[in-house]
Amino acid sequence: MADEIEYIAYPKIKHVKLFLDRVKYRNKHFHRDIELGFLMKGKGVFETGEGNFELQPGDAILLRSNESHSISGDGDGMLCLFIQLSTHFLRDYVPSLRNEDFETCLLSRYFDAESLKNLLKTALFCVKSYIVGEPQFEFDVLSGLSAIAAELLRKVPHHSVSEGAIRRQRQNAERMNRIIASIDEHYLGAARLEDIAEKEGITATHLSHVFSSTMGMSFQDYLSFRRLEEAVRLIGQGNMTLLEISFAAGFSDQKYMTKMFRKRFGCSPKEFAANPRLYVPAPKGKSPLEHIYGDDEALDAIASFECALTCAPVRV
């Protein structure tokens, strides 16, 4: 993936984006948007700076703004309905809430089973309206999201953040953007912590602390995972030997690349290449192990899920 700081566009409605995403693995990233994820199929783990959150179908997770997180799905991946809200969503519509910051949590901690099921139904209504886009669909989407936001504000812990803290968050995000951009530029060769720290005018120790506290992993681990992603991409092309791939992806040798594959996927690069389930092409996604659904595919998945939802209780 090119950027680990994700800048989110809003193609249909100001401050709002909704989509379905089947994720086998989404690497460590963060964005300024508040994110809600409803698990529709499969199971998996969101790894965040607040801890690891295991999700089963029907579960939902709330990720606060600037929360660094990665996503790992079992089997063929987990299918999630995602709602991304710009921090300006609250600021523009309810100015008194302009600096509110939520707790990252599983919603089942604060919602009973019936309330969570109703929240899920509202989210499904919103994403269907968003995808179909009938005349004045914006009102349907915004009314549903406003109801969800009101419920979150009533039940999920949140607090007001000072303007100074917001400026510091913005400055930290800008610095991380430069650091990540430097890694992306040099990860196939020599990407040294000391060189990047010198460019930022800070010590290597300070940069290491900032990176770890923001990304939830060390600079070296992130660099290795970045190279691992490139190796996954090259394996998918099927026209290079593993030795060639290890050097092309920036690893010092094939042995270290194999170590990283076993750490991330529990298998060797050779086993990974031989198992198509571990390599899922995703032309619309952000990595080879993520697939963002197109409109027709998303509507079919929602219809199937809603049918199952009426036949069985949602697990929370």
* Residue 106 vs residue 9, higher pLDDT: 106
Per-residue pLDDT tens over the stretch 18-54: 999 999 888 777 777 889 999 999 999 999 878 899 9
Per-residue pLDDT tens over the stretch 145-167: 999 999 998 999 877 665 666 66
β-pairing, 34-41 with 105-106?
unpaired
Most confident by average pLDDT, 59-63, 67-71, 171-175, 185-189 = 59-63
Confidence at residue 161, expressed as pLDDT on a 0 to 100 scale: 61
| Averaged pLDDT, 237-257 | 90
Regarding whether 294 and 156 lie in a shared domain, the answer is yes
Residue 1 lies in a domain: no
Q: Coil, helix or strand for 36?
A: strand
Residue 2 lies in a domain: no
Question: Residue 20: in which H helix or E strand, if any?
Answer: strand 16-23
CATH number assigned to the domain comprising residue 179: 1.10.10
Tell me which DSSP letter residue 278 carries: G
Regarding whether 169 and 58 lie in a shared domain, the answer is no
| Averaged pLDDT, 200-211 | 89
CATH number assigned to the domain comprising residue 226: 1.10.10.60
| Averaged pLDDT, 85-96 | 72
State which residues form the domain around 239: 221-280
Confidence at residue 166, expressed as pLDDT on a 0 to 100 scale: 61
pLDDT interval class at 8 (50, 70, 90): low
Q: Could you tell me the sign of the dihedral formed by the alpha carbons of 194, 196, 202, 207, in that order?
A: negative
Regarding whether 122 and 21 lie in a shared domain, the answer is yes
Phi, then psi, of 290 in degrees rounded to 5? -145, 140
Residue 168 lies in a domain: yes
Confidence at residue 311, expressed as pLDDT on a 0 to 100 scale: 64
For the chain, the first-to-last Cα distance in angstroms comes to: 33
Regarding whether 131 and 20 lie in a shared domain, the answer is yes
